[in-house]
Structure 1
């Protein structure tokens, strides 16, 4: 089983979904210290004049003193209105504006609590459903794993992989320096890294900005096109 483990990001960039598309099981990593002003509570879309603009999830308790799974959204309805408001300039310009608005609304409609993790997981699930990507996920804090002994950032992935019976762990290349190959090898787990090449697309009348939220990608590209890109722009590298 090929496993991916990532923090719960808010409508993350397309490479996040490329990683999901190349794994068989996904763990939402929500047991470590929360990081304020990270991709967990904000992302970026095109600005109506130039450059990019943040879409934010204001929290009631944003602090490094909490674990990620303890983070709570201040006001879900106000957050929904704010996010949708920062997308209105795409109307009549982006061909898939209505579909993306529906996706955002489905995300917020599915959230039953103020949990930031739940909001972000529902966002991932909504995007995967729209793209027809399998998304077999578990939330780490709900798995009952033995993780108390972890004392380094590189220790989480091999421990979770071993306890879930993974044979292959796939990570973005930016995490290469975190890991000791032997931590995986001693449990018969292969370690690999997935490089995702930049995908450039037409955003006329705006100037293209790289690395924006998946919402921007979906505004301008059909689900079929995005699925093709998730395959053609992804490269799995050996450790």
Structure 2
């Protein structure tokens, strides 16, 4: 089983979904210290004039004193309205505007609590369904794993991979300096890194800005085109 483990990000960039597309099971990593002003509570979309601006999820308890699973959204209806408001300038310009607005609404409609993790996971679920990507996920804090003795940032993934009987662990390339391959190999687990090449697309009358939220990508590209990019722009690298 090929495993991916990532924090729950808010409508993350396309490379996040490339990792999902190349794994068979996904663990939403919600048991570590929360990081304020991170991709968990904000992302970026095109600005109406030039460049980009943030779409944010204000929290009621944003602090490094909590774990990610404890993060609570301050006002879900207001957050939905603010996100949709930041997307209105795409109307009559982006060919898939209505589909993306429906996707955002499906995300918020599916959330039954003020949990940031739930909101972000429902965003992943909605995007994967729209792209027809299989998404077999679990929430780390709900798996009853033995993670009491992790003493370094690089220790989480080997421990989770071993306890879930993964045969291959796939991570973004930024983790190359974080992991020791032998920590995986001693349990018969292969370690790989997914390199996702920059994807540029026609966003006229705007200028394409790379690395924005998946919401921007989906505004301008069909699900079929995005699935092709997830395959053609991805490369699995050895440690």
Q: TM-score range by the shorter chain?
A: over 0.9
- Separation in 2 of the partners of 1:91 and 1:146? 48
Find the counterpart in structure 2 of residue 108 from structure 1: 108
- Separation in 2 of the partners of 1:127 and 1:170? 20
Q: 1:92-122: per-residue Cα shift (whole Å, max 9, x none)?
A: 0000000000000000000000000000000
- Kindly indicate whether residue 120 of structure 2 is the aligned counterpart of residue 137 of structure 1: no
Give TM-score, length-normalised by structure 1.
1.00
Find the counterpart in structure 1 of residue 155 from structure 2: 155
- Separation in 2 of the partners of 1:39 and 1:60? 17
Q: CA deviation at 1:19?
A: 0.1
Find the counterpart in structure 2 of residue 83 from structure 1: 83
Runs of 4+ that moved beyond 6 A: none
Tell me the SS of whatever aligns to 2:177: helix
- Kindly indicate whether residue 29 of structure 2 is the aligned counterpart of residue 14 of structure 1: no
Q: CA deviation at 1:213?
A: 0.1
Find the counterpart in structure 2 of residue 210 from structure 1: 210
Q: 1:149-194: per-residue Cα shift (whole Å, max 9, x none)?
A: 0010000000000000000000000010000111001100000000
Q: Which consecutive unaligned segments of at least 5 residues does structure 1 have?
A: none
Tell me the SS of whatever aligns to 1:178: coil
- Separation in 1 of the partners of 2:63 and 2:161? 28
Q: Which consecutive unaligned segments of at least 5 residues does structure 2 have?
A: none
- Kindly indicate whether residue 191 of structure 2 is the aligned counterpart of residue 200 of structure 1: no
Q: Report how many aligned residue pairs link the two structures.
A: 239
Q: CA deviation at 1:138?
A: 0.2
Find the counterpart in structure 2 of residue 3 from structure 1: 3
- Separation in 1 of the partners of 2:73 and 2:226? 30
- Kindly indicate whether residue 56 of structure 2 is the aligned counterpart of residue 56 of structure 1: yes
Q: CA deviation at 1:76?
A: 0.2
Q: CA deviation at 1:52?
A: 0.1
Find the counterpart in structure 2 of residue 69 from structure 1: 69
Q: CA deviation at 1:79?
A: 0.1
